[in-house]
Structure 1
Amino acid sequence: MSRLLGSTALVATLMIASVPQAMAQTASDTAQPVAVAAGDLRTALDQVADQFGLQLVVQGDLSGMESGNLSADMSARDALQSLLSGSGYGFEFVSDDSVIIRPVSATTSNAQGTLILPEVVVTATRSRRSIATMSPSVVVIGSDQIEAQSAKSSDITNVIRNNVPGFMFDDQSLISSTETFRGRDVQVLVDGVARNTPLRNSSRILSMIDIQQVESIEVIPGSNAMNGDGATGATINIITKTGEVGKNVFVVDAHAKSYTDDIGESFSPSLTVSGRGGFGAVDLAASVTGSKTGNAYDGYGNQVPSDAMLGQGGFDNAEDLNVFGKAGVTLAEGHRVFLSSEVVRFRQDIEYFTDLTTDPVSVNYDNAYTGQPLEDESQYFTGGYEYDFGKMGKGDLKLFYNDSYKQAALSDFDSTHNNFQLVLADSTTALDPLGQSVIDTVKYGLKLSTDTSLDQVYDGMTLTWGGDLIYDDVKYRSVSGRDIGAPMQQDGKAVFAQLSAPVTQFVDLSGGVRYEKFDLTVDDYLRPNYLYNRTTPIAAAQFTGGSTSYNAVTYNASAVVHWTEKLDTSFSYSEGFSIPDVGAYTRRAGVSGAPLNFASIDVDASKVKTYEIAARYTGQDFRTSGAIYMSTNKRGDTFDSATNKLSQQKERIIGAELNGEYDISEDTYVGALASYVEGRYDKDKDGDLEEWLPNNRIPSPFRFTGYVDSYVWGDLNMRFDGTYTAGRYKIEDEKIKPSLVFNLSGNYPLLGGVARFGIENIFDTSYENPAATALRGYSVAGHGRTVTIGYRREF
């Protein structure tokens, strides 16, 4: 990995040096021939910038906006004015060769006074629906927002949390089990294909996705079954970059990050080389990112344990390589075939075990780590065909293959949190040195989605229909190759239909149904022998497998009312479902009363119903949206660590979300996001919701983020934000403390590129990470002050 990073850095440096610096254009009003084809607005702006040697700094999100064609002799000012006309965006030359593109107001109107809003299309619903016809709680995070916010962090979870109020504070580790949304699970899609592994939750999903390959992020809060199992709290769809013929771009992006408590030991460089474009009928996009990280430190200046979460690892002392590629061929107008791939190689070399006896947990320098490294070796492939068959409809057919190998870290003995340890097969006391767990999953299938216009029935009506065929194969083993959970295979079949239509110009209605059936086979296996509390042998036991079928019919309906050009409201009802983590339960077979026969495990699909009322207001200088919701579940999944049992019982979660932005001036705006969530469940199954949901479901009931974004000294864009996470005191003897963290980031055009800097936890505050503490039940410190410096250059 070190040789790879060194070689890549050398090649990138030589390439930068070999490209002549563009001469500054001092005559922005000098006319020259301009030829730009109609299409994506951001692409057109980049083409004009290239032709005139300009550096663009974009404030706002241009995703989904289109422009007309240009073909005339004109100046840079005239070209920019023509492209941005009617878009709600304007421009300003801050130097001879630097231009800021920013919203001129949130309510730009045309000559007739009609409000102009850019159409943003959402695909996570399996249909191409305009965001204007969906609940105001739906959020699309565009490439400009992603690029600006990645100045201080390259973690996708940070970008989502800074834009979507319902997303919980992350635990600053590799796992996603604490990445709850409205107190429930999140389904993660990449270009519409699920990354979740429902039969045995491998957790590492968002943390392993390279932000450099991301074009936009769609977030649909609430339950949603349109993409299958898992979306009981939200659906997050990661849209990767796609090349465009005639727009060839090569990018070098490098940054380095360090903790200020020990810059040398924490120094963490990263380098990305990427490009996209196309020729003829072929479009291409690719990126390679390599990174290496050092130690991590908390606000007290103490080194953070590499494995504070008992086997789940972290980002420190790691090497990471991500290779992404996508190619498409346009066969004819409306018909395209494509293939995309992503390969992940991650390795964390842990030096010391974690001391769980301290508060917060700390590095045990007297106990050197003796296990194998934590590793992730995964590859994802998707091929497909996009079509337009006229009256039949337009859509896509996707075939995918996901193969992931996720190796956990070795956890040391602890009498409270890790008192069962795997021993050698022929011994009762000798620990297995290769006893750490591995989740090896293969998932492949087919997804079909088609939008068929029903204008002949009702003007504007669209029927979205399709189906899925999915196969999962899960093996849960130790590094030594012994099964520690029952091997499982599952076939899934689903069909769906969604009908949407505008009812006059003021109301958009949508409703749909999905039927899904799973056939699960759980194999027999020998549950291996363990050592309990270092003294009591637990003999191996035979687990008897079996088979079962789950099925679910889910419905959804929504109504969006456009009261005025500025005010929208919506009411929606949606259903989603999830399958319990059966693999985790079979690992405990024969221990603490857990059954040794699959037929005795009473689990069923868990269906969540969500009711939501939302509103959105878009004024000239002020924008806001909010939602209140309630989600219910008759068979919620709760794991009780004290009894080592999984239970399913009635539960209810309520919450509210609010966000808003206000333009103080053309150069400065302020904003805030706030969310509240709380829930109860029927622990004794008497019909009453008498107990609060555990902290691992709701680590904090309230979160608030405030920020100010401003241009200072001309074209230096800076953003200052702070996040308050409230404590939770509902569970006896499991109190979660509040936290308050401030951050700063900036972007500045320099030498034809953009220089960036970011400071996380500016005041080096010592705080308890609420999500990590809630998951394991002991205090885990949050990370201290980090400084990131980076540079991005497009050619």
Structure 2
Amino acid sequence: MMSTRRLLGLTPGLLLCATPSHAQDTETPLDLGEIVIEALRTGATESAIPGTVQVVEAEDIQAQARAGKTLSTILSDLVPGLAPANGTIGGASQTLRGRTTQILIDGVARTSELRGFDRELALIPTASIERIEVVKGSTARFGNGATGGIINIVTKKAGEEDGRTTLDTKLSFQTRNDSSLGYGTTFTHDRRIGDLGLRLELSAEHSGLSFDGSGQRIPSDPLVGQGDDQDADRYSLGLAADWATGVHEFDFRLDAYRFEQDIDVFANYDTTPVSVSDRAYTGQPVTDEGLSAKFTYTNSAFALGELEVSAFATDVSRRSAFSEPSVVNNLFYSDGPGSTAQDPDAQSELFTSTQGLNVTVRSPADWAGRNATLTWGIDIGHDDVEQELLNGTDIIAPMSQENLAAFAQLGMSLGDRWEISGGLRAERFWLSVSDFTRPDAVFLAGGTRLAFPALEVIGGDFSYDAVVGNLGAVFEASPTVDIYGGFSQGFSIPDVGAFTRRALASNPLLPGQTVSYAHIGPDAQIVDTWEIGTRYRGDAFSFDLSAYYSTSNEGTVFDSSTNQISQQKERIWGAEFVADYRLRDDWDIGTNLAYVEGEFDDDGDGRVDSWLPNSRIPSTFTAGLFTDRRFANGLILSGEIIYAGGRDKSGHPELDDITTVNVSGSYPVGAGRLTVGVTNLFDSTQLNPTASSVREDPDVLVRDEGRRIAISYAVTF
């Protein structure tokens, strides 16, 4: 049985992850106690949280990855409210409750929120993951970005066993084409030398081409510059160390990775769905490489309580794919003033670096009530962002940002049944935007190419302020039933770099004009979320049911027809349900359901009366049904049905339903375990709803991958 489910009926904190079971043994589960949710920073366990939190454990992630699923697909299948994965290395349109998701690794964002390609879920090796915490709803626990929630990937520390080594190999292929072959190897080693723990992680992986259920090849760049996971190589190195003495604990982690995708032909956007063309790709490979480090010091006997200090630094460079002029890529860079020909170097590279310091103190607060704890601290950060063409020409205004935040969160018990929590976070940003010249560009309209002269964008120094809060309560109606509710706020400064990249003058055809960032820059977005729910935990049956409503006056929408971003009033509502039932000691079933819908003020008249675009809500209703069965001889069989309902709202293209059946089995062989998994068992030919929602005008439809078979063998010694 999967590790999250081992605790169901034994501890109240892990009831929300109704997902397929993939245990590596059939031993009697142990009561391991409730997990502290690191993404909340308060030391709170799940049963005391007045909202929806899900925890997906390493065992489940590894089992599903060995069965052939990507991390973004694993999460979208298991986490109701998270949009289906789009099938690429980017996270375009994979929203959480219709809004942006802040993806963190050990509480740190790998790239700046000022400008990002959102590739984190495709680049972190699953062998590095201890668990993933998903905190839903708007929140500001880690600052800017989490208007829909937080996905915090907690990495592994050094193991308790000295000299523990794991070797994991995997092979995958599609039955319709030999060129779909993918393979990879992961090596991990843990060692302890007295109080010092060390962990080494190495991985190398190659992915083949991708084909739909009818055998048609899916383009290597279906979403215009986003890149894909086809014909790609990725390498990663992870080093972790921890040392403890008395009340002091030190943790360090260093990660380095490189990803490269070779594209052989351009995509053809004149077909429906998008297909591969007969034109050879002329750009450079898609790449992504980064280096990150984090150091954490913890003192459990600090004078004011428990102290945690973390310092981090990241450095990432990302290259997008080269895209031809097309009905989708209708604004591109020319090769000179007055020319309408595309610059052969019009392929962008993004460079981001971040540094920061987080200080968190958890202090007893007996003055406030029984079992009260006050969590407080400060966050300091610095970001540098640049994006250039291959020849070094800036295509966004180079910028840097400083931020300083102070926060406080109080949690306490009222009587024997009530848990109350509330807090505030105040943050200030100092943004420095450099002057730059947006290069000569061409706008393609109805087959006509219009030359847009270079535009001077005047920068400056700007500041943003945000003060947000939260308040919630959990009522223990009985030993098995909790009722919870709360209000929370999150804030986001939308993609600042994108606003400068798409800068246009009042008459873009006239040369010699200027535009000021002060007039085109976005407003900070604050999102208010209300949520109520109940969770039940029994010996054999557990469920969680919640409903939410969120609003914002500065919602962000991308219009693919004009290539512009706008902000306006919006509201989103939805409900989620997860359940798990143990039929018997060796057989479990589970389900999850989610509904989300939203509207916005499309015409700026102050009334929220138009449906949000598909790029924000690619599927209104999603559902999953899971089962697994464990046998005395060590065999584990698992199956799941994943459904994403279509969306048909006025003013937006219609999206079809999609249903995928996945099965897997694992069996002990020799000293290890052999796993065979099949995704899209029936080789269905269908469209990927999230990828097909990224661009609406023109409507670009993208196929979903057909049947894929994965075979893996893992051994620990």
Range into which the TM-score falls when normalised by the shorter chain: over 0.9
What's the offset of the Cα at 1:650? 1.1
Query: Is the alpha carbon distance of 1:133 and 1:85 closer, same or farther for their aligned partners in structure 2, counting shifts above 3 Å?
Result: closer
Determine which of 332, 336, 344 is the counterpart of 2:249: 336
8 Å contact 1:59–1:103 — kept in the other structure? no
Q: Which residues of 2 match residues 46-65 of structure 1 at below 5 A?
A: 59-61=2-4
Determine which of 545, 549, 552 is the counterpart of 2:459: 545
**1:781 corresponding residue in structure 2:** 703
Letter in 2 for 1:610: T
**1:76 corresponding residue in structure 2:** none
**1:577 corresponding residue in structure 2:** 491
Q: Which residues of 2 match residues 709-720 of structure 1 at below 5 A?
A: 709-712=628-631, 714-720=633-639
8 Å contact 2:499–2:521 — kept in the other structure? no
Letter in 2 for 1:596: V
Letter in 1 for 2:382: Y
Tell me the matched-pair count.
696
Query: Is the alpha carbon distance of 1:592 and 1:174 closer, same or farther for their aligned partners in structure 2, counting shifts above 3 Å?
Result: farther
Q: Are positions 1:721 and 2:640 aligned together?
A: yes
**1:743 corresponding residue in structure 2:** 662
What's the offset of the Cα at 1:246? 4.5
What's the offset of the Cα at 1:425? 4.2
What's the offset of the Cα at 1:699? 0.6
Tell me the distance in 2 between the aligned counterparts of 1:592 and 1:172.
38
Determine which of 333, 348, 354 is the counterpart of 2:261: 348
Letter in 2 for 1:525: F
For structure 2, the residue ranges without an aligned partner over 5 or more in a row are 15-23, 509-513
Determine which of 422, 426, 430 is the counterpart of 1:515: 426
What's the offset of the Cα at 1:424? 2.6
Structure 1 stretch displaced more, 389-398 or 717-726: 389-398
**1:490 corresponding residue in structure 2:** 401
Q: Are positions 1:180 and 2:95 aligned together?
A: yes
The alignment partner of 2:26 has SS state of strand
Q: Are positions 1:405 and 2:317 aligned together?
A: yes
Tell me the distance in 1 between the aligned counterparts of 2:60 and 2:669.
19
Query: Is the alpha carbon distance of 1:522 and 1:721 closer, same or farther for their aligned partners in structure 2, counting shifts above 3 Å?
Result: same
The alignment partner of 2:83 has SS state of coil
Determine which of 566, 588, 596 is the counterpart of 2:502: 588
**2:220 corresponding residue in structure 1:** 306
Query: Is the alpha carbon distance of 1:731 and 1:491 closer, same or farther for their aligned partners in structure 2, counting shifts above 3 Å?
Result: farther
Tell me the distance in 2 between the aligned counterparts of 1:349 and 1:427.
33
What's the offset of the Cα at 1:326? 0.9
Q: Which structure's CA Rg is the greater one?
A: 1
CA displacement 1:105-159 (0-9 Å, x = unmatched): xxxxxxxxxxx78312111011211111113621111222223322323522223
The alignment partner of 2:72 has SS state of helix
The alignment partner of 2:667 has SS state of strand
Query: Is the alpha carbon distance of 1:99 and 1:672 closer, same or farther for their aligned partners in structure 2, counting shifts above 3 Å?
Result: closer
Q: Which residues of 2 match residues 28-43 of structure 1 at below 5 A?
A: none
8 Å contact 1:443–1:471 — kept in the other structure? yes
8 Å contact 1:269–1:291 — kept in the other structure? yes
CA displacement 1:366-388 (0-9 Å, x = unmatched): 20000000000111111121112
Q: Are positions 1:634 and 2:553 aligned together?
A: yes
**1:317 corresponding residue in structure 2:** 231
Determine which of 477, 480, 494 is the counterpart of 2:388: 477
**2:183 corresponding residue in structure 1:** 269
Q: Which residues of 2 match residues 161-560 of structure 1 at below 5 A?
A: 161-262=76-177, 264-330=178-244, 332-364=245-277, 366-414=278-326, 416-425=327-336, 428-455=339-366, 458-533=369-444, 535-560=449-474
**1:74 corresponding residue in structure 2:** none
What's the offset of the Cα at 1:248? 3.5
8 Å contact 2:111–2:353 — kept in the other structure? no
Determine which of 701, 708, 716 is the counterpart of 2:627: 708
Tell me the distance in 2 between the aligned counterparts of 1:500 and 1:373.
50
What's the offset of the Cα at 1:564? 1.1
CA displacement 1:378-412 (0-9 Å, x = unmatched): 11111121112344111311111111101000011
8 Å contact 2:335–2:342 — kept in the other structure? yes
Structure 1 stretch displaced more, 490-499 or 616-625: 616-625
Query: Is the alpha carbon distance of 1:342 and 1:731 closer, same or farther for their aligned partners in structure 2, counting shifts above 3 Å?
Result: farther
Structure 1 stretch displaced more, 140-149 or 571-580: 140-149
For structure 1, the residue ranges without an aligned partner over 5 or more in a row are 1-57, 66-83, 89-97, 105-115
Letter in 1 for 2:193: F
What's the offset of the Cα at 1:276? 1.8
What's the offset of the Cα at 1:714? 3.4
The alignment partner of 1:596 has SS state of strand
8 Å contact 2:260–2:288 — kept in the other structure? yes
Tell me the distance in 2 between the aligned counterparts of 1:63 and 1:558.
28
Letter in 1 for 2:463: S
Query: Is the alpha carbon distance of 1:354 and 1:180 closer, same or farther for their aligned partners in structure 2, counting shifts above 3 Å?
Result: same
What's the offset of the Cα at 1:532? 3.2
Q: Calculate the aligned-residue CA RMSD, in Å.
A: 2.2
Q: Are positions 1:794 and 2:716 aligned together?
A: yes
TM-score (norm 2): 0.93
Letter in 2 for 1:336: E
What's the offset of the Cα at 1:598? 0.8
What's the offset of the Cα at 1:712? 4.4
Tell me the distance in 2 between the aligned counterparts of 1:515 and 1:567.
35
8 Å contact 1:486–1:545 — kept in the other structure? yes
Tell me the distance in 1 between the aligned counterparts of 2:366 and 2:54.
28
**2:71 corresponding residue in structure 1:** 156
Q: Which protein, 1 or 2, shows the higher relative CO under an 8 Å CA cutoff with sep ≥ 6?
A: 2
The alignment partner of 1:563 has SS state of strand
Letter in 2 for 1:350: I
Query: Is the alpha carbon distance of 1:367 and 1:87 closer, same or farther for their aligned partners in structure 2, counting shifts above 3 Å?
Result: closer
8 Å contact 1:194–1:227 — kept in the other structure? no
What's the offset of the Cα at 1:85? 13
What's the offset of the Cα at 1:245? 4.8
Query: Is the alpha carbon distance of 1:628 and 1:637 closer, same or farther for their aligned partners in structure 2, counting shifts above 3 Å?
Result: same
Letter in 2 for 1:418: N
Letter in 2 for 1:568: D
Query: Is the alpha carbon distance of 1:85 and 1:687 closer, same or farther for their aligned partners in structure 2, counting shifts above 3 Å?
Result: closer
**1:11 corresponding residue in structure 2:** none
Tell me the distance in 1 between the aligned counterparts of 2:404 and 2:674.
49
Query: Is the alpha carbon distance of 1:440 and 1:99 closer, same or farther for their aligned partners in structure 2, counting shifts above 3 Å?
Result: closer
CA displacement 1:684-711 (0-9 Å, x = unmatched): 2322111111110001110011111112
CA displacement 1:472-494 (0-9 Å, x = unmatched): 11101111110011111111110
Overall identity of the aligned pairs, in %: 34
8 Å contact 1:570–1:614 — kept in the other structure? yes
What's the offset of the Cα at 1:324? 0.9
Tell me the distance in 1 between the aligned counterparts of 2:233 and 2:477.
53
Structure 1 stretch displaced more, 535-544 or 227-236: 535-544
Query: Is the alpha carbon distance of 1:86 and 1:409 closer, same or farther for their aligned partners in structure 2, counting shifts above 3 Å?
Result: closer
What's the offset of the Cα at 1:757? 1.3
**1:690 corresponding residue in structure 2:** 609
What's the offset of the Cα at 1:593? 5.9
Tell me the distance in 2 between the aligned counterparts of 1:102 and 1:775.
46
CA displacement 1:267-286 (0-9 Å, x = unmatched): 11110000123111211112
8 Å contact 1:749–1:755 — kept in the other structure? yes
Tell me the distance in 2 between the aligned counterparts of 1:307 and 1:315.
9
Tell me the distance in 1 between the aligned counterparts of 2:409 and 2:375.
5
8 Å contact 2:546–2:577 — kept in the other structure? yes
Tell me the distance in 2 between the aligned counterparts of 1:398 and 1:63.
32
Tell me the distance in 1 between the aligned counterparts of 2:433 and 2:491.
21
8 Å contact 1:270–1:290 — kept in the other structure? yes
Tell me the distance in 1 between the aligned counterparts of 2:368 and 2:425.
23
Query: Is the alpha carbon distance of 1:357 and 1:62 closer, same or farther for their aligned partners in structure 2, counting shifts above 3 Å?
Result: closer
Tell me the distance in 2 between the aligned counterparts of 1:136 and 1:442.
33
